[in-house]
């Protein structure tokens, strides 16, 4: 997919390290110019220096420190990005944190609320700020990083789980709101990644995140986890023309046959790859209507 994003321009949040940096690298090597942000200026500067040599003659990498939980900083970020890249048509919301670890009655409330601010509000703010521009140019892609917290309970990580579930339903809703404007909105579950977030879970210990989850984290650390490149490849595909018209979905980079989805467009008009309530009949039970 070396030219999948040729000539395209993207804004990627949380792109100074980890998966965000891997996505930015994949975008650049696929032909895109990228505007990246992160909270730490020094880390962001190192990421920009790493990406710049990968650019072709018509490409550019620009970085701007920004806290996505701060509405004024998000507005300034989007204004700067669209001024520098007038044809900017792709937003990747990657910035996120696990938040406090432990039972809801034990964790610090400020830290819990701050995780919601970053994971949920930060994504909504960035989309809200960029949507008027995407509507003006008449097309676009919004790609949201989600994960296992959206589809299953995570005891000890309630802020993370709640925010990730909420953001997927926001993606589904925004996709319907923007369908008439040719803006596709999708979420990615990138798999079990060995990043700083995994290190946080291991450091927190089994008392805070649960014995089973902590043991899975240790096993993931030993086996290497899912390569960052898997999620980055799906992000490139969702940003490319090949995925045009596929919208409102939560896709697993590891388990879903996402490269084949264009041949299943009619089926995708259903609730496939969406969050939904499971009723008794779905499990072969004859009660509950």
Active site residues: 160
Measure the CA angle with vertex 8, ends 5 and 12; round to 5°: 90
Instruction: Give yes or no for a contact between 194 and 224, defined as CB atoms under 8 angstroms apart.
Output: yes
Q: What is the DSSP secondary structure assignment for residue 120, as one 8-state letter?
A: I
Rounded to the nearest 5°, which phi and psi values hold at 11?
-110, 125
Burial 90-117 (b: 16+ CB within 10 A, else e): bbbbbbbbbbbbbeeeebeeeebebbbb
For 118, how many CA atoms within 13 A lie in the half-sphere containing its CB? Answer: 21
What pairing do the DSSP bridges indicate for beta strands 61-65 and 90-93? Answer: unpaired
Cβ proximity of 188 and 231 under 8 Å: yes
Helices and strands, number each (H, E), in the chain: 10, 7
Whether 208 contacts 156, CB under 8 Å: yes
Strands 90-93 and 250-252: unpaired
Place of tokens 């490409």: 59
What is the distance between the alpha carbons of residues 50 and 195, in angstroms, rounded to a whole number? 18
Is 253 in contact with 193 (CB distance < 8 Å)? no
Question: CA angle, corner 148, sides to 240 and 10, nearest 5?
Answer: 25
**Contact predicate 202/221, CB 8 Å:** yes
């Amino acid at each position: 997919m070396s030219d999948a994003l040729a000539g395209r321009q993207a804004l990627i949040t949380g792109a100074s390290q980890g998966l965000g940096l891997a996505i930015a690298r994949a975008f650049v090597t696929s032909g895109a110019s990228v505007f990246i942000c992160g909270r730490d200026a020094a880390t962001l500067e190192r990421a920009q220096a790493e990406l710049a040599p990968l650019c072709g003659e018509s490409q550019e990498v620009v970085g701007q420190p920004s806290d996505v939980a701060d509405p004024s900083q998000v507005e300034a970020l989007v204004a700067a990005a669209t001024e520098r890249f007038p044809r900017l048509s792709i937003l990747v919301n990657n910035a996120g944190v696990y938040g406090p670890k432990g039972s809801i009655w034990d964790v610090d409330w400020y830290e819990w609320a701050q995780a919601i601010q970053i994971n949920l509000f930060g994504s909504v703010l960035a989309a809200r700020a960029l949507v008027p521009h995407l509507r003006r140019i008449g097309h676009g892609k919004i790609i949201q990083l989600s994960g296992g917290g959206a589809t299953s309970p995570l005891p000890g990580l309630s802020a993370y789980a709640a925010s990730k579930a909420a953001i997927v339903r926001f993606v589904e809703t925004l996709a319907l709101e923007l369908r008439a404007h040719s803006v596709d909105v999708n979420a990615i579950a990138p798999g079990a990644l060995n990043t700083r977030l995994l290190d946080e879970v291991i450091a927190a210990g089994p008392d805070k995140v649960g014995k089973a989850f902590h043991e899975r984290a240790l096993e993931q650390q030993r086996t290497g986890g899912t390569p960052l490149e898997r999620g980055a490849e799906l992000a490139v595909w969702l940003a490319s023309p090949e995925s045009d018209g596929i919208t409102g979905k939560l896709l697993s980079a590891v388990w879903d046959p996402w490269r084949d989805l264009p041949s299943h467009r009619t089926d995708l008009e259903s609730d496939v790859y969406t969050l939904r309530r499971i009723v008794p009949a779905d499990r072969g039970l004859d009660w509950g209507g």
